[in-house]
Structure 1
């Protein structure tokens, strides 16, 4: 999706008719910046780094969409223009600093400029995701796919796959159980981020009010740096999700079992 034209929709949809139990979201899929914004004052190295997007996340999300027959909703443009996993009132939605990098093109923006960013990037994404959820004949389980850098503010991270949740931990609990020993990976709950870091906005905005099963998956980006590792990770995560949902169905009863049977 890099190099998308400035007039293009900020939302990318795939497999819209997918009939599986899940709906996949990738809020930080692209580092593309429309020409009208220049480079936001950043060099090419910064724009290729994790501050501009989640490297490897989109190929994993796409492969999982195919494996799970799940619709995919992805953002077409860089998180530096607007982070679609943040609400408009948060300063981090349009960051003036990302990790150790100043973002000159975001410095000193007034309320009107920030509002225009939200109108251009966030609100269409939010509406498209809501429409995709509501169009499903049965309520989907929401899965958001992200990647994170192995070193952040100079600190190495030992966690390799994070299974994140907000107030509703049902699906996260089941995924952690299905993951078992992590197939040799270090898998942890709410790491390297958690709801206290403001990263569960999509879950809070779209899943919790509807009572939908939901989970956010963070993958250390050195584990998904090429097509082979991306496919292997997609297969692993899809297997965990299918195992988790199967276990939840088996353990459900009454109205809840009837609802999950349709997923």
Structure 2
């Protein structure tokens, strides 16, 4: 897949897309769109404090760590974005209101204000298209070698949002295709460890299932988006507990579907 050249990223920046375990043989393809809080050199700090740049507005804390543990447990390929969603949210299509935010929760983002259409397009060319294009390529590679693909995206969310505590601990999200989500919710029912809910704290109406809708729905691939409350995965011990729970949940649900 070819993309237009862009000079938005400089020689000081890495490729926006990271791929780990590309030769993994398991059916799950893991995607972490909000893995990093790193900013490309060209945008500086976007006018934000270090506290803001370390907060959830910049990334999904703990999501990459959990994704890596899942990749190891499930023998899964993992694709993640190396730059912050503050520059471009790769789980939103170009032109969507949430793709480049000039306000996120209580934070103004000065470096995103009054961008021209050309500036927005440059960010999409540099970050969004290579990222989503690499996912598409991986799915084709897997199909060509006869490997099943189950698309699973991993995110985290804050325990308090606009001053309101969130009771949900793990969200199992889906768009029109709920096959895998249904099985996972059944398997999690009464688990005694985590409060697991459907399409919480977000759902498809919030635009969060873009990656699933783009790649999985047209091809009828099994798919799910997992949201984990980030206070549960702010330590290595917590990450291992949650990853172990999710590994069991995914493995059992996929076995049940294949029966």
TM range (shorter): over 0.9
Unaligned stretches of 5+ residues in structure 1: 251-263
| Partner Cα separation in structure 1 for residue 15 and residue 32 of structure 2 | 15
Give the aligned length.
247
Q: SS at the partner of 1:184?
A: coil
Query: Could you tell me which of 14, 17, 20 is aligned with 2:20?
Result: 14
Q: SS at the partner of 2:86?
A: coil
Q: SS at the partner of 1:24?
A: strand
Measured against aligned partners, the alpha-carbon deviations of 1:172-217 in whole angstroms (never above 9, x if no partner) come to: 0011111122442111000000000000000000100111000000
Q: Deviation of residue 5 (structure 1)?
A: 7.0
Query: Could you tell me which of 163, 174, 181 is aligned with 2:183?
Result: 174
Q: Could you tell me which residue of structure 2 aligns to residue 257 of structure 1? A: none
RMSD over aligned CA atoms reads 1.2
Q: Could you tell me which residue of structure 2 aligns to residue 70 of structure 1? A: 76
Residues 34 and 143 of structure 1: is their aligned pair in 2 closer, same or farther, counting only changes over 3 Å?
Answer: same
| Partner Cα separation in structure 1 for residue 162 and residue 133 of structure 2 | 34
Q: Could you tell me which residue of structure 2 aligns to residue 94 of structure 1? A: 100
Structure 1 contact 23–143 (Cα < 8 Å) conserved = yes
Q: Could you tell me which residue of structure 2 aligns to residue 145 of structure 1? A: 154
Q: Is structure 2 residue 127 aligned with structure 1 residue 121?
A: yes
Query: Could you tell me which of 133, 140, 146 is aligned with 2:139?
Result: 133
Q: Runs of at least 4 residues of structure 1 off by over 6 A?
A: none
Structure 1 contact 5–34 (Cα < 8 Å) conserved = no
Measured against aligned partners, the alpha-carbon deviations of 1:93-114 in whole angstroms (never above 9, x if no partner) come to: 0111111111110011111110
Structure 2 contact 159–231 (Cα < 8 Å) conserved = yes
Structure 2 contact 13–41 (Cα < 8 Å) conserved = no
Measured against aligned partners, the alpha-carbon deviations of 1:42-99 in whole angstroms (never above 9, x if no partner) come to: 0000001000000000000001011000100000000000000000010210111111
TM-score (norm 1): 0.92
Q: Could you tell me which residue of structure 1 aligns to residue 37 of structure 2? A: 31
| Partner Cα separation in structure 2 for residue 128 and residue 197 of structure 1 | 24
TM-score (norm 2): 0.93
| Partner Cα separation in structure 1 for residue 245 and residue 24 of structure 2 | 20
| Partner Cα separation in structure 1 for residue 245 and residue 137 of structure 2 | 29
| Partner Cα separation in structure 2 for residue 6 and residue 178 of structure 1 | 46
